[in-house]
Structure 1
Amino acid sequence: MSQSRRRVPDEAAFRKLFEAEDAVGLAVLDTEGRIRFANAALGRLCGDGPGPQHGRAAACLFAADTAEGVAEAIRAALAGPPAPPVVLARLADPSLPEDSQVEVTCRPLRGEPGALLRVADVTARRRMQAQMEEGARLQSVGRLAGGVAHDFNNLLAAISGAAESALARHPDAATVEDLRQILDSAARGARLVKQLLAFASRQALAPRVVPLSGVVEAMLPLLRRLLGGRHVPEYAPPPAPGPLVRVDASQLDQVLLNLVVNARDAMPAGGRIRIAVETRHLDDDLVAPGAVVPAGDWVVLSVADAGRGITPTDLPRIFEPFFTTRRDTGGTGLGLPTVLGILRQSGGHVTVATRLGEGTTFHLWFPEVGATAEAAPAPPSVAARSSGPRRVLLVEDEAPLRRLAAHALKAAGHEVQEAEDAETALEAVEGGFAPDVLVTDITMPGEMDGFTLAEMLRERLPAMSVVLASGYAERAVGEGVAERGFAFLEKPFRMAALLGAVAGSSS
């Protein structure tokens, strides 16, 4: 009787104390590792698996592959201090996702035999940590890709310029054919580099405020022609008027095209590709495969297929450049990295939901823009000017490209002062050269980039035109170029485009 009287108040005190803990599962274990009492939170955590009934061995609450680790921690706690380390485990609920995890700690009770078991769900925390680590890794790869793209674009520009210069000398027909092949190959290389720049979020964009649903609807006829009869796009628009986003519409077309082509390839026998636009408000950060989406108001574009899904092994790698599961059918592994880069540069995110044998849905998250927001300025264009000779300050650190560009400009009648970096360019101006046009690479060696050089010279020469050229520049976004009234020339460029930019005419 004395033992029974002692347990009743102990149980009442336990329940009052433990039921106050709503987020963490708690249980008191006897000397055999069986459950004496448990709080409601532990029952909720167990879900559809074995529950924390009185007398049940606590290790039975956990999946078979982790139960022994928990049992060992319980045995160590019952043996006395020091307390064993934290154990990562999975509960035995079959409905839980594969990446679900709990932290289990067990320590001896004070003043009586037994142990206290503590179970905390850490799935969301570990997902967020994994996504942040993956995001940091992809950003590092992006910086590397951007740097490689910059140097590669300089080489392509020099190759293209040399081929154009040789063509201008009117060689024989066989040489002309070889030179045109060189130009075509350089153009294909430039397209590849452009995809790398998209992944690195280093493109020159011209964002403006647009209704997302309008951009999607304008693409539907093209998508239907692309997909043919076996694959049918189904579009679910948002209620009118549709939400606004700030994005480069041409880049958004590329994003949608990439995702729809992937959805088509995931269903070789045909099927329906569901496209939808909706608004979503997040009270808390959303942790999902692909990204951690911050709380706030978002416009979500989703593209869903009913294909084979993405394997757990491939899922963490789908945004890596050049990773593809379709190498034998022409996959380059740059489609999804391009999507990710464009979304990041537009202030958005990409998340993925997939189940093997059931399909995959990509969610593109764009920050919602209020109806009163001003549209971004259009991409800059150089005002029409006289096509007569002009004084050109040409700043380019790649010597072969600088020589070719200078030759083309001089052949067109312009006076050219060459400089290998910003400091040399400033010395030329201080020495008396007053350019009508500054043509400068953005990323250069030394302490000053092309933007800074252009701004400094504009203060001295307000009437000077500026043409910025780059294959990679972190600051070379459409807004920055337009706000300063600068023109932008994307590398690798043809010499005709350079001459057109200097003359101030469209090319």
Structure 2
Amino acid sequence: MSEADRIPADFGRLFEAEEEAGLAVLDTEGRIRLANPALWALCGGGAAPETGGAAVALFTEETRAAVAGAVAAAIAGPPAPPAVPARLADPTLPPDAAVEVQCRPLRGEPGALMRVVDVTARRRMQRQLEEGARLQTVGQLAGGVAHDFNNLLAAITGAAEAALARSGGETAEDLRGILDAAARGARLVKQLLAFASRQTLAPQVIALGDAVAAMEPLLMQLRGARQVLELDLPRPGPLVRFDLAQLDQVLVNLVVNAREAMAEGGTIRIAVATHALPSEEVAQGSVIAPGEWVVLSVSDEGRGIAPEILPHVFEPFFTTRRGQGGTGLGLSTVLGIMRQSAGHVSVAPGAGQGTVFRLWFPAAQGVVAATREVATAPKPAAEARHRVLLVDDEPAIRLLARRALEGAGHEVQVAEDAEAALDAIAGGFVPDVVVSDVTMPGDMDGIGLARALRDERPGLPVILVSGYSEGTVGEGLSGLGIRFLEKPFRMADLVAAVGEAVPAAE
């Protein structure tokens, strides 16, 4: 009588029909009596689950001891031992492939039932979610640091501008150097805010093929002397909703990254395609939902990314090119921009060699906006003089802003928080325009102060300033018609904003 003949008919049908897990009936020596098709499929190019073979031979040497312990405990009788992690002895499996092995005693006869489940996808998703949570925490920290750093830069910039207006010669050159350094610091902060997904965005419907093609002249300059640039772009291409300026930034960062990965030369390939994702897919720190996506890929032919480095490539300030001037903010900026736009980033080895980065955009519908907006010159500051209520908890910024506004002929009343500002108004100061920081100590922030003042004087011009971007505080500004200045700003910009505020309101 064969082993199959000894198995009850109902159990045999369930045994054979099981698709999610590989099953094997084991004798008292841990040898395989019967294996279902799912276990054969799982073993792939490794040891086959043939009748009479040792069950532990299906697994790698490093994990056989754990499996042998589970098998022995199950054969010894109840209770069933806990599941153990293992790896199948199939050399074609990816490095992170893993299974869980559960063994339990057979009912009514000696032996054990071994159940093998592929947990590779589940563990990948768990790692990505953990990475996403970690990056989110780092992003929150970066956003907070950026806010405080912008306040410091605003004070440095304002003081240097004020001193420059009174100086000349070598001192003036030194002050211009301070202003240049502050400007570089401000750009660094913008990258941190991009990683924290706290930038001000202007999304619009664009045809992605046309938008990328318009960048070809710039990308050709960035590619390097030894690199070849290939574009595979449908024209006009699928529609996405995205900020054109941010598209420029993510593509520039990825092309520069690809160029640096191929110092000896190679091909950088940029392609756009639609992709119908049938099921969830893990990406860097997130899970891509099933549905219609537009994928922009940037691939290189470099040495690739080492597995131990891959989990860290999107962390801010992580770089393998510290000695060559790398800041470690390029890829973190890409990740932050894509997240803020409801997209994703994934990275994987190339088909032959190198690395491919994929940007996942939700497919959009609508009318394509103009490709690029033409920048207009700023309006000159109005000549009118106004009564300005200046509210900021940073003493240095209050001093410098007051000096700049009074130098422009405005009458200025300063306050360190919202409560002091309301006290000043109660004391008789009637402002033509209010300039207030968004984040202040006390029970009321700048937005709350603006609402309170607007309740008493509808249409009162208000200018809010913050070390955070407008996108971060945008919900509070919605519908209020409030002007926003992001720190650090030049004092000339503040003077111009105040000069324009009252005429704009009238």
TM-score by length of 1: 0.91
> What residue is the counterpart of 1:192 in the other structure?
188
Aligned partners of 2:24 and 2:106: how far apart in 1? 11
Change (3 A) 1:426 1:249: farther
Of 34, 37, 40, which aligns to 1:37? 34
Kept in 2: contact 1:381–1:487 (CA 8 A): no
Kept in 1: contact 2:387–2:412 (CA 8 A): yes
Kept in 2: contact 1:392–1:438 (CA 8 A): yes
Instruction: Give the number of equivalent residue pairs.
Output: 498
Q: Offset at 1:177?
A: 1.8
> What residue is the counterpart of 1:436 in the other structure?
432
Secondary structure of the residue aligned to 1:150 is: helix
Whether 2:490 is the aligned partner of 1:494: answer: yes
> What residue is the counterpart of 1:284 in the other structure?
279
> What residue is the counterpart of 2:413 in the other structure?
417
> What residue is the counterpart of 1:327 in the other structure?
322
**310-319 or 208-217: which moved more?**
208-217
> What residue is the counterpart of 1:56 in the other structure?
53
Change (3 A) 1:96 1:256: same
> What residue is the counterpart of 2:146 in the other structure?
149
Q: Offset at 1:111?
A: 1.1
In the TM superposition, 1:88-237 aligns within 5 A as 88-169=85-166, 171-237=167-233
Aligned partners of 2:419 and 2:295: how far apart in 1? 47
Of 358, 361, 364, which aligns to 2:356? 361
Secondary structure of the residue aligned to 2:171 is: helix
Aligned partners of 1:341 and 1:35: how far apart in 2? 51
Secondary structure of the residue aligned to 1:476 is: helix
Aligned partners of 1:385 and 1:160: how far apart in 2? 20
Change (3 A) 1:393 1:254: same
Q: Offset at 1:98?
A: 1.0
In the TM superposition, 1:7-18 aligns within 5 A as 8-10=5-7, 12-18=9-15
Aligned partners of 1:62 and 1:260: how far apart in 2? 42
Kept in 2: contact 1:394–1:439 (CA 8 A): yes
What is the root-mean-square deviation in Å for CA atoms of aligned residues?
2.6
Change (3 A) 1:88 1:471: same
Change (3 A) 1:381 1:27: farther
In the TM superposition, 1:379-458 aligns within 5 A as 386-458=382-454
Aligned partners of 1:362 and 1:479: how far apart in 2? 33
1:84-130 superposed Cα distances (whole Å, 9 cap, x missing partner): 22111111122221111111111111110100101111111111111
Q: Offset at 1:381?
A: 11
Q: Offset at 1:297?
A: 2.3
Change (3 A) 1:260 1:485: same
Aligned partners of 1:431 and 1:457: how far apart in 2? 14
**136-145 or 88-97: which moved more?**
88-97
In the TM superposition, 1:236-385 aligns within 5 A as 236-238=232-234, 240-354=235-349, 358-371=353-366
Q: Offset at 1:270?
A: 1.1
Q: Offset at 1:9?
A: 4.3
1:459-479 superposed Cα distances (whole Å, 9 cap, x missing partner): 433332332222225853678
Kept in 2: contact 1:127–1:288 (CA 8 A): no
Secondary structure of the residue aligned to 1:325 is: coil
Kept in 1: contact 2:388–2:432 (CA 8 A): yes
Stretches of structure 2 that go unaligned for 5 or more consecutive residues are 502-506
Q: Offset at 1:330?
A: 0.8
Aligned partners of 1:297 and 1:315: how far apart in 2? 27
Aligned partners of 1:296 and 1:413: how far apart in 2? 59
Change (3 A) 1:418 1:350: same
Aligned partners of 1:273 and 1:485: how far apart in 2? 45
Aligned partners of 2:2 and 2:154: how far apart in 1? 90
Q: Offset at 1:336?
A: 0.7
Aligned partners of 2:368 and 2:36: how far apart in 1? 51
Q: Offset at 1:172?
A: 4.1
Change (3 A) 1:212 1:432: farther
Q: Which amino acid aligns with 1:312?
A: P
Q: Percent identity?
A: 63
Q: Which amino acid aligns with 2:104?
A: R
Aligned partners of 2:465 and 2:210: how far apart in 1? 32
Kept in 2: contact 1:289–1:353 (CA 8 A): no
> What residue is the counterpart of 1:78 in the other structure?
75
Secondary structure of the residue aligned to 2:30 is: coil
Aligned partners of 2:287 and 2:405: how far apart in 1? 49
Change (3 A) 1:460 1:295: farther
Kept in 1: contact 2:381–2:496 (CA 8 A): no
Kept in 1: contact 2:205–2:365 (CA 8 A): no
Change (3 A) 1:500 1:339: same
Secondary structure of the residue aligned to 2:79 is: coil
Q: Which amino acid aligns with 2:252?
A: L
Kept in 2: contact 1:380–1:485 (CA 8 A): no
TM-score by length of 2: 0.92
Aligned partners of 1:483 and 1:60: how far apart in 2? 69
Stretches of structure 1 that go unaligned for 5 or more consecutive residues are none
Q: Which amino acid aligns with 2:199?
A: Q
Kept in 2: contact 1:310–1:356 (CA 8 A): no
**208-217 or 325-334: which moved more?**
208-217
Kept in 2: contact 1:207–1:479 (CA 8 A): no
Q: Offset at 1:484?
A: 4.0
Q: Offset at 1:155?
A: 0.7
